[in-house]
């Protein structure tokens, strides 16, 4: 049992293999947070260091007033969940307005329930379990007697992983409407703020760069107000103790299983106590709960690691690849090597061109051909036809089915690009249903990439997407879908939502999208779905519930990719990271790098090519053929086991990533260089997590290495040229 309850003292102790999370009921009915961190045995004396009263006496809770004015101050005590309107004046986790205009929420503890396993969240993506022994779920019942608001806090505590998932369900048991203005899924009060904060910042073509900054009294937050989780910030942050590094020290990681507007941050109070929060962004959010209605906040996942950032990432990787990803491809580490025509042709392709590409691709070992944007309507530029999902007659004279058959006849599988959530103003769909795009009556509509966003709050729009996707996917042997999404939400409004609920539209959009994806996944369980959003925008845990993998970035330059893949690997496993080799000079950044390095870097994700292969020289084709063979021989190592970030890209040195297969018998060690050192000599790179008593043979050679030597002295890496890379494969003897 991972949840222990001391009934007498009303203390809840949630335990994972290496962590403890403790809170208690204090006074008559408040919840006081006592501890989150490395596992401890007992809660005794955790309250010794609490500051019960602080300067600024306005914050004494009425319930404790009888103890004397200097006894208890809500504003400095660690709360389990903070409310606006209480004497806790820090950032509230919950803020609502009631029908009488009041904004005070003051719920009291009513009881708890523990159940084995973990409930799925209605209409929302969430981590799941496969049997009851994997985790227990604690529900804490809170009730505001004045308004009738009931809140249930859910904690699912895993027995064999250092994971606690959290969410909150609000239910209106009163007689009047309740407007929820903020509802965080997770809030944790720490007793100090001696942390570094780690988050992932980015932009198009430079997604998810790791930034580590000391936490200060100014606090910090990451967020999206763009309607999707976006390129700018990921719905993730970590707090690391100052001495924590890649493999050592305490780290708390928080990941949000949601793809829309989010906020996550840390506030450091006047006593230097950190409050962490994560939830739907309260910016432009209001959710009306009529009597009898409920609202479920999306899930937040908390991971504790006493083995540094690497330990945190491996916990996320294991959890997400086995208990968030679903379906047939979840356990399929051997996914196809693909070629995508986008960078090779953009919109300017013919069927003949595609078949020429496919023929050569087949020759060099590619397994799947993906036809990208431009195959439908009259789309020859990014200025029309989104919504008109029928074949472009000039480009595909025999339709999608005809092309797919010809590709199949060449011995390749066939995949297709869609951008289902969008509509072009120049499209039959928009002309027929102008009201189906998100808009506000009487206001202009801004375009992004010449397109509007469909109003997925509307059931008929959801049905339309499911219908045309179904028709297309049934019309041809399509085994793979790339689901793209290329603009942000503006003029957020929906004619189908009443005026008082307009601030629900962004979240209702996400619920509509999740519903569409759920229906399509159920209908097409054998299709491999890859998500995409202008490269790697919206690559979040919410999307991984529906998409087997995700296009990590439009940037395929080997140097920039190291930063992107390193940051992405903070939370996402390699098996989910679409990663392709493109041409040189790189189309976006003009860098020239060796094909082998581009290959090795792409092999650290779901491998493929993104180029006009008809333009490759014979030498390049030979090398590509070797790469395909090599990748197929190692993909199980990369995707089945654990990843260790041995060296982060920095200065002249590139990344070094180590992958140990699930059975521990094979190791792939990818090492990259950024800029060559003059007068260089072989440098040793210490590998990690090997068996010190085992011997490892370097694949393809007779060289055998002592495991301890590889870890404690290191593998000698010969000097490399600018932007080069190597991959070493070891097999345990």
CB-wise, 19 or 586, nearer to ligand DGJ?
586
Task: Give the Cα separation of 207 and 560 in Å (integer).
Answer: 9
Closest approach, Cβ 331 to ligand DGJ, in A, equals 27
Task: Give the Cα separation of 516 and 503 in Å (integer).
Answer: 21
Q: Please identify which residue in the block is written with the tokens 């409004």.
A: 493
CB-wise, 372 or 540, nearer to ligand DGJ?
372
Ranges assigned E (strand) in 215-325: 220-223, 236-241, 251-257, 262-268, 274-280, 287-289, 294-296, 299-305
Residue 484 annotated in active site: yes
- Residue 31's nearest CA partner among 81, 106, 68 is 81
The residue annotated as part of the active site, out of 484, 540, 548, 612, is 484
Closest approach, Cβ 87 to ligand DGJ, in A, equals 49
Closest approach, Cβ 209 to ligand DGJ, in A, equals 18
Residues with Cβ < 8 Å from 590, sequence gap 6 or more? none
CB-wise, 161 or 231, nearer to ligand DGJ?
231
Closest-by-Cβ residue to ligand DGJ is 373
Give buried/exposed letters for 651-686 (b at 16+ CB in 10 A, else e): eebbbbbbbbbeeebbbbbbbbbbeeeeeeeeeebe
- Residue 421's nearest CA partner among 322, 524, 514 is 514
Task: Give the Cα separation of 596 and 618 in Å (integer).
Answer: 15
CB-wise, 134 or 373, nearer to ligand DGJ?
373
* Residues 230 and 538 sit within 8 Å (Cβ to Cβ): yes
Closest approach, Cβ 335 to ligand DGJ, in A, equals 18
Task: Give the Cα separation of 399 and 405 in Å (integer).
Answer: 10
CB-wise, 383 or 731, nearer to ligand DGJ?
383
According to DSSP, the β-strands at 528-531 and 478-483 are: parallel
CB-wise, 298 or 578, nearer to ligand DGJ?
578
Closest approach, Cβ 373 to ligand DGJ, in A, equals 3
Q: Please identify which residue in the block is written with the tokens 């208690």.
A: 24
Task: Give the Cα separation of 531 and 572 in Å (integer).
Answer: 13
According to DSSP, the β-strands at 413-418 and 368-371 are: parallel
Query: Phi and psi for 149 in degrees, rounded to 5?
Result: -75, 125
* Residues 649 and 713 sit within 8 Å (Cβ to Cβ): no
Closest approach, Cβ 432 to ligand DGJ, in A, equals 23
Please state whether the peptide bond connecting residue 585 to the residue before it is cis, i.e. omega within 30 degrees of 0: yes
Tokens of 245: 């590094």
CB-wise, 458 or 487, nearer to ligand DGJ?
487
List residues binding ligand DGJ (CB under 6 A): 342, 372-373, 417, 484, 486, 532, 534-535, 551, 554
Closest approach, Cβ 62 to ligand DGJ, in A, equals 55
The residue annotated as part of the active site, out of 269, 373, 554, 557, is 554
Closest approach, Cβ 610 to ligand DGJ, in A, equals 8
Give buried/exposed letters for 5-35 (b at 16+ CB in 10 A, else e): eeeeebbbbbbbebbbbbbbbbeeebbbbbb
Instruction: Measure Cα distances from 490 to 254, 439, 662 in Å.
Output: 28, 8, 45
- Residue 113's nearest CA partner among 86, 82, 137 is 137
CB-wise, 216 or 350, nearer to ligand DGJ?
350
At residue 250's C-alpha, the angle toward residues 244 and 254, to 5°, is: 105
CB-wise, 224 or 661, nearer to ligand DGJ?
224
Closest approach, Cβ 392 to ligand DGJ, in A, equals 14
Q: Which residues are designated catalytic?
A: 484, 554
């Amino acid at each position: 049992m991972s949840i222990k309850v001391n009934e007498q003292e009303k203390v809840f102790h949630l335990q994972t293999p290496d962590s403890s999370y403790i809170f208690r009921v204090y006074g008559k009915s408040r919840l006081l947070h006592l501890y989150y961190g490395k596992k401890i045995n007992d809660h005794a004396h955790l309250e010794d260091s609490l500051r019960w009263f602080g300067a600024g006496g306005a914050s004494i809770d009425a319930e404790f007033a009888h103890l004397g004015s200097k006894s208890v101050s809500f504003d400095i005590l660690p709360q389990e969940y903070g409310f606006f309107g209480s004497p806790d004046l820090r950032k509230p986790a919950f803020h609502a307005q009631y029908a009488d205009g009041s904004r005070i929420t003051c719920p009291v503890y009513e009881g708890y329930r523990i159940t084995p396993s973990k409930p799925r969240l209605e209409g929302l993506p969430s981590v799941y379990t496969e049997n009851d022994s994997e985790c227990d779920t604690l529900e804490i019942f809170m009730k505001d007697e004045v308004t009738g608001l009931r809140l249930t806090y859910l904690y699912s505590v895993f027995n064999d992983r250092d994971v606690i998932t959290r969410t909150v369900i609000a239910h209106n048991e009163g007689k009047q409407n309740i407007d929820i203005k903020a509802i965080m899924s997770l809030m944790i009060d720490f007793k100090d703020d001696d942390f570094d904060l780690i988050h992932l910042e980015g932009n198009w073509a430079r997604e998810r760069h790791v930034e580590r900054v000391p936490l200060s009294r100014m606090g910090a937050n990451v967020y999206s107000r763009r309607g999707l989780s976006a390129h700018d910030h990921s719905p993730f942050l970590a707090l690391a103790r100052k001495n924590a590094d890649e493999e050592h020290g305490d780290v708390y990681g928080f990941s949000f299983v949601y793809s829309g507007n989010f906020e996550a941050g840390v506030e450091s109070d006047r006593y230097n106590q950190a409050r962490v929060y994560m939830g739907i962004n309260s910016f432009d959010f209001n959710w009306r709960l009529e009597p009898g209605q409920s609202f479920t906040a999306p899930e937040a996942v908390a991971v504790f690691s006493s083995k540094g950032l690497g330990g945190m990432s491996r916990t996320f990787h294991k959890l997400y690849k086995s208990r968030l990803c679903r379906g047939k491809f979840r356990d399929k580490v051997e996914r196809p090597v693909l070629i995508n025509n986008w960078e090779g042709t953009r919109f300017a392709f013919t069927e003949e061109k595609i078949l020429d590409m496919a023929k050569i691709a087949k020759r060099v070992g590619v397994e799947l051909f993906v036809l990208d944007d431009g195959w439908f309507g009259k789309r020859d530029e990014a200025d029309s036809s989104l919504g008109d999902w029928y074949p472009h007659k000039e480009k595909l004279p025999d339709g999608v089915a005809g092309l797919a058959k010809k590709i199949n006849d060449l011995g390749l599988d066939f995949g297709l690009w869609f951008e289902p959530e969008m509509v072009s103003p120049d499209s039959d769909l928009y002309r027929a249903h102008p009201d189906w795009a998100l808009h506000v009556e009487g206001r202009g509509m801004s375009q992004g990439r010449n397109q509007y966003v469909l109003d997925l709050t509307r059931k008929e729009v959801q049905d339309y997407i499911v219908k045309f996707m179904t028709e297309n996917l049934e019309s041809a042997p399509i085994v793979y879908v790339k689901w793209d999404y290329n603009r942000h939400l503006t003029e957020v409004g929906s004619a189908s939502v009443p005026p008082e609920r307009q601030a629900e539209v962004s979240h209702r959009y996400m619920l509509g999208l999740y519903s569409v994806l759920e229906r399509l996944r159920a209908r097409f369980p054998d299709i491999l779905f890859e998500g995409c959003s202008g490269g790697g925008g919206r690559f979040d845990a919410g999307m991984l519930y529906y998409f087997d993998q995700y296009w990590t970035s439009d940037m395929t330059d080997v140097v920039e990719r190291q930063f992107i893949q390193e940051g992405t690997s903070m939370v996402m496993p390699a098996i989910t990271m679409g990663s392709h080799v493109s041409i040189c000079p790189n189309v976006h950044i003009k860098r020239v790098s060796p094909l082998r390095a581009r290959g090795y870097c792409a092999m650290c994700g779901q491998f493929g090519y993104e180029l006009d292969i008809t333009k490759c020289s014979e030498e390049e084709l030979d090398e590509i053929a070797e790469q395909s063979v090599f990748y197929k021989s190692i993909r199980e190592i990369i995707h089945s086991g654990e990843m260790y970030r041995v060296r982060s890209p920095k200065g002249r040195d590139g990344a070094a990533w180590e992958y140990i297969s699930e059975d521990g018998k094979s190791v792939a060690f990818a090492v990259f260089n950024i800029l060559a050192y003059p007068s260089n000599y072989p440098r040793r790179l210490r590998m990690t997590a090997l068996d010190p008593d085992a011997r490892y043979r370097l694949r393809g050679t007779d060289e055998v290495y002592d495991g301890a030597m590889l870890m404690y002295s290191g593998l000698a890496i010969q000097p490399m040229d600018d932007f080069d890379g190597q991959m070493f494969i070891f097999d345990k003897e």
